[in-house]
Amino acid sequence: MFKGLNHTEVKERLSRFGYNELPSARPKNIWRIALEVFREPMFLLLISCGLLYMILGDYQEGIIMLCTIFIIIFITFYQYRKTERALEALKKMASPRAQVIRDGAESRIPGREVVPDDILVLNEGDRIAADAVLLETLNLTVDESLLTGESVAVSKVPGNGSAGDNNRVFSGTLVVQGSGIAKVTATGPATQFGRIGISISRIREEETKLQQEMKALIRRLFIAGVFISLAVVVLFYITRGNFIQSLLNGLSSAMAILPEEFPVVLTVFLALGAWRLSRRNVLTRKSSAIETLGSATVLCADKTGTLTQNKMEVSVLYDGHNMYYADSFRSEDGFDPLLIRMANQASRPNSIDPMEMAIRELHDRFYEPGTDELTFIREYPLSREMMAMSRVLQDPVTEENGFSIFAKGAPESIFILCRLSDSEKENHLRALKAMADEGYRVIGVAMAEYRKPELPEEQTDFEFRFRGLVGLADPIRPEVKEAVNDCRTAGIKVIMITGDYAATAASIARQIGLPEGECITGPELNRMSEEELRERIPRVNIFARVVPEQKLRIVLALKANREIVAMTGDGVNDAPALKAAHIGVAMGKKGTDVAREASSLVLLDDQFSSIVSAIRSGRRIFDNLQKAMSYILAIHIPVIGLTLLPAFFPSLPVLLMPLHIVFMEMIIDPVCSVAFESEQEEKGIMNRPPRDPSVAFFGVRKILNSFLSGILLLAMVAGVYFLSLQEGHTEGEVRAIAFSALITGNIFLILTQLSKTRNVSAVLAEKNYILIFILLSAFIMLLLTLFVPALRQVFSFAFPGTRHFIPSLAGSLLVLTLLETIKISRSKKRAATG
């Protein structure tokens, strides 16, 4: 809709439809990213610690602390670039140009320059730039599927604007056949297209439940961290008297306590999740949708273009005696393609009308193009009185044989042209009803011969013979049936929403394998109150004959019933519901710009099965995010405990200094944000029901489980710490032994937290290379800090001898054994309870 416009013009035109921003594929400026990084509490603490070390005269440690900031800025900048690069797929937009008559002359202008009272010239293939009333038409048909959801083009006739929509054309729709002249009545937000855009802008987007929980938890932990850090400063100052050192230990406590990883992990998980989805042809426009995907309970699918291919296909033929379905369109089965040949001759060559394209496609399967070329003489267009068209053709070789006339149109009109008797019509009406009940669009076909040299003025003057009926359907996407079955297995209810009649919708529902359920039509929906709709909607799986406002109402009713709603669609008419749903999924190839802008996800390949793949990925991401958050809570327990221990017992040496905590963070951050994200899905992930939306992400049980893991690790490190003191080691040796126990125990904690059901050996066998690289790097760095004298000095370590590290390793193995035993016990309990 915005072809040929620059960025500013596109933004201006979108603003007319209620959009204030265009997605930007340009990476943020590195200094702007750095500014955002410096606003984070952890980075402020790092700067404070570095400056305090410089004040104390420890320039080496101060410089090391400050250098870590630039490493983190680089990582953050890289993540920003990777996330924003995916938005480039949204910059391909298209917009019509309009042919208008101004001052008696025709000219072609950009669609945005059309104003009310302009005279539009409409030709086949034009995208209409404004709402208008028709003044003249010649066999004009318009594809309005973007607005109405109907895949069949609508015939248009001239009028004065008061006879319904058949004498009006709408912005964004497509002329598929014929021509016309129309007077513009509305542009911009006043058009039907624009009103939908405005309704989108009025819909308030909600924060996801996880975002709300995360904010509340971080707020509580932040408040607790501030009070504990202040208490540490006061206690250290009272017991040790050095204010600068007390402040430094207070900052260490703050670094240990503040949950700075939570927002980082959430951001990285969603960014990497978006990247993984893009590799499966699912573009993420709103990263919060990834988190919501795993808990989706209802999938509302628009039929046209989503469940179906948004094109017509000949599915059944009736030759006046027998019915032939698509699977029997073969000569060896006794099928005679003469009927489809006549239907093709009644169609305009090279037409872009969906029905005529479908007829031509089937015709070309049986006849070589150009083998039966006849000369076109005249066309009799359809009219209000006769909803059929006729084309007069003549064989140039045997002109003396007269004219051949081929007609197609509404079956009732074809019956009239053929002057059928009541008994003849009765047989054909039975076939017509059978085809209509199966959801087919049906047209009749007739033929006449005319020997006179002068053609009559009206097509009704020919003596037509009825030749048959052609049933067309918008074919089901081949992957839909399996995808619907996968949704059912995963506990996700699929609801089909369409503008078609109930019979057509029911036929589609049977073909895609929707379970039995109720059907509500648009008129019924209008008569229902909100309470009645909420009460009835759990039993409904089809909504037929609905309009855009009703689709939005359906989504809102589901949300009121506490369902997590995913809505798929591709047309302008889907946009309000796409934006109102928790997860809006638009089609990328055939979807409109408005639908893509309103959605959370865009299917770049238009494959319905990609939705199921996205849901699977969403569940995996949610599981791994939960594991990562549980690990963060668990690992902070020993860090906090070991930081606070010297504050309460002045005789004990300080164990963790700011640099040690930074070392821990360099393990914790990549592990919980990258290694956990890379972990494969749990078995049977799509055989369980969606997560209960009312269950908290950080429930009491999960927090207690994390605390238990953290307390076990704290107890082990504290035990090693006191054991080393009793053995008479120096302060530096005690710190080295205890710190090695903390790092080794942390590595084992990571391995056991990676899966809720699989043991450590199974986790390692899965070859999570990112995890292996991070853990090996951490272990090598630990060895370097213990065995390289220069690094020992930086970390305030002393080497006690290799054998003195045996308690650290033994204690870590004991923690691993206990945690694995607890995991096995819980798995057996879950299996027993089903």
**pLDDT, tens only, 20-59:** 333 333 334 445 545 554 555 555 555 665 665 566 555 5
Per cent of the chain over pLDDT 70 is 79
Q: Which residues pair with 351 in a beta bridge?
A: none
SS3 720: helix
Strands 282-284 and 601-603: antiparallel
Residue 280: which pLDDT band, with cuts at 50, 70 and 90? confident
Tell which residue, 317, 337, 244, has the closest CA to residue 51.
244
185 vs 81, more confident: 185
CB crowding 448-478: b at 16 or more within 10 Å, else e: bebeeeebeeebbebebebbbbbbbbbbbbe
**pLDDT, tens only, 445-482:** 999 999 888 899 899 999 999 999 999 988 888 888 98
Helix then strand count (H, E) for the chain reads 30, 22
Tell which residue, 132, 231, 227, has the closest CA to residue 180.
132
The confidence score (pLDDT) of residue 413 equals 93
The confidence score (pLDDT) of residue 445 equals 97
Residue 66: which pLDDT band, with cuts at 50, 70 and 90? low
The confidence score (pLDDT) of residue 741 equals 94
Q: Which residues pair with 298 in a beta bridge?
A: 493, 565
Residue 270: which pLDDT band, with cuts at 50, 70 and 90? confident
Strands 583-587 and 565-569: parallel
**pLDDT, tens only, 187-238:** 887 888 777 666 555 555 556 667 777 777 777 777 777 777 787 778 777 7
CA atoms within 13 A on the CB side of 151: 30
The confidence score (pLDDT) of residue 5 equals 36
The confidence score (pLDDT) of residue 520 equals 94
Distance CA 95, CA 465 (A): 45
* Strand runs labelled E in 293-369: 298-302, 313-318, 323-325
The confidence score (pLDDT) of residue 379 equals 92
One-letter identity of residue 130: A
Kindly state the average pLDDT of the residues 610-638: 87
Whether 647 shows a pLDDT value over 80: the answer reads no
CB crowding 374-390: b at 16 or more within 10 Å, else e: beeeeebbbbeebbbbb
Tell which residue, 507, 390, 363, 506, has the closest CA to residue 444.
390
The confidence score (pLDDT) of residue 414 equals 95
Whole-angstrom distance between the N-terminal and C-terminal Cα of the chain? 53
The confidence score (pLDDT) of residue 199 equals 56
266-275, 333-342, 680-689, range with the lowest pLDDT: 266-275
491 vs 827, more confident: 491
Burial class (CB in 10 A: 0-12, 13-18, 19+), 767: exposed
Distance CA 60, CA 63 (A): 5
Strands 403-409 and 388-394: antiparallel
Distance CA 240, CA 249 (A): 11
Per cent of the chain over pLDDT 90 is 24
Kindly state the average pLDDT of the residues 412-433: 91
678 vs 198, more confident: 678
Tell which residue, 293, 286, 309, 297, has the closest CA to residue 602.
286
**pLDDT, tens only, 241-258:** 777 767 766 766 666 666
Strands 493-497 and 540-544: parallel
The confidence score (pLDDT) of residue 64 equals 61
Out of 39-43, 271-275, 375-379, the most confident range is 375-379
Whether 627 shows a pLDDT value over 50: the answer reads yes
Distance CA 201, CA 199 (A): 5
Kindly state the average pLDDT of the residues 535-545: 93
Packed helices 261-279 and 209-240: angle between N→C axes, nearest 10 degrees:
150
Task: Kindly report the number of other CB atoms within 10 A of residue 112's CB atom.
Answer: 22
Residue 325: which pLDDT band, with cuts at 50, 70 and 90? confident
Q: Are 680 and 766 in contact (CB under 8 A)?
A: yes
Q: φ, ψ for residue 15 (rounded to 5)?
A: -65, -25
The confidence score (pLDDT) of residue 149 equals 62
77-91, 364-378, 613-627, 762-776, range with the lowest pLDDT: 77-91
Residue 16: which pLDDT band, with cuts at 50, 70 and 90? very low
Distance CA 636, CA 15 (A): 47
75-84, 173-182, 586-595, 806-815, range with the lowest pLDDT: 75-84
Residue 508: which pLDDT band, with cuts at 50, 70 and 90? confident
Kindly state the average pLDDT of the residues 399-422: 89
The confidence score (pLDDT) of residue 18 equals 33
Out of 566-575, 611-620, 686-695, the most confident range is 611-620
Distance CA 310, CA 568 (A): 14
465-479, 615-629, 665-679, range with the lowest pLDDT: 665-679
Kindly state the average pLDDT of the residues 254-283: 74
Kindly state the average pLDDT of the residues 759-775: 83
80-94, 374-388, 703-717, range with the lowest pLDDT: 80-94
Residues 6+ apart with CB under 8 A from 141: 153, 154, 155, 156, 175, 176, 177, 178, 353
Q: Are 214 and 632 in contact (CB under 8 A)?
A: no
Q: How many residues does the chain have?
A: 834
Q: φ, ψ for residue 339 (rounded to 5)?
A: -60, -45
What HEC string does 150-192 produce? CCCCEECCCCCCCCCHHHEECCCCEEEEEEEEEEEEECHHHCH
The confidence score (pLDDT) of residue 393 equals 93
Residue 265: which pLDDT band, with cuts at 50, 70 and 90? confident
488 vs 290, more confident: 488
Residue 495: which pLDDT band, with cuts at 50, 70 and 90? very high
Tell which residue, 395, 435, 394, has the closest CA to residue 411.
435
The confidence score (pLDDT) of residue 814 equals 94
Residue 153: which pLDDT band, with cuts at 50, 70 and 90? confident
Question: Average per-residue pLDDT in the chain?
Answer: 79
Whether 146 shows a pLDDT value over 60: the answer reads yes
Q: DSSP class of residue 457?
A: S
